[in-house]
Amino acid sequence: MSDRDEIIGIINLYGLAVDSQCWHLFDRIFTADVQADFSASAQWRDLASFKRDFAMFHDPFDSTQHAMLGHQLHVQGDSAFALTYGNWRLIRNAVDGDPRWDGTGWYDDALVRTGQGWRIARRVCRIMGWSGNPFVNETIPGVKFELSTSVLRHEAAVGKIGFLNAVQGITESFMP
């Protein structure tokens, strides 16, 4: 399997792991010291707490579907960068009103090759738009996956997109 195929497989496995709530699959996707930034109130610095909190956040949903698409990859030896678009549908019948929350956004990943294969060491996820019932997405008090206030082009313009920096040869500050 090529590096590209393996990395895309890891990124797509994330969607399946979340939707099936098979959190043990995160061990095949992320490093033990993963740095995950999903919003100001949703950040992690280790796999154990990331898995625990994602399980708590997703448990109330009746169903979820995460589609990972538009993969862009840049491999540099034993490190790689990926930018992936995502669409999410969350269903929670226990809330009043529409049980759906649909979101769209992107993932900016830094990956490392390990003895067990490629793993995501740093993930930034930004939600660019959503529709539906906002109460569906509020399963843990104080933890919100907020709409990003800056669009991809603005993040790119100030050097915050690891994948674009890697393509341009600027990687030092973006690898964990």
For position 15, which CATH number holds?
A: 3.10.450.50
Helix (H) or strand (E) holding 157: helix 152-157
Total number of domains in the chain = 1
**Are 152 and 106 within 8 A, CB to CB?**
yes
Cα distances (angstroms) measured from residue 103 to each of 8, 66, 87: 21, 9, 6
Give the model's pLDDT for residue 173. 47
Pull the structure tokens for residue 156. 């790119």
Give the model's pLDDT for residue 58. 95
CB-neighbour burial class of residue 174 (10 A; exposed 0-12, middle 13-18, buried 19+): buried
Give the model's pLDDT for residue 104. 94
Give the model's pLDDT for residue 144. 64
Give the model's pLDDT for residue 176. 46
Give the model's pLDDT for residue 118. 98
Residue segments in the chain with a per-residue pLDDT below the cut of 50: 173, 176
List the domain range (segments joined by +) for residue 72: 3-174
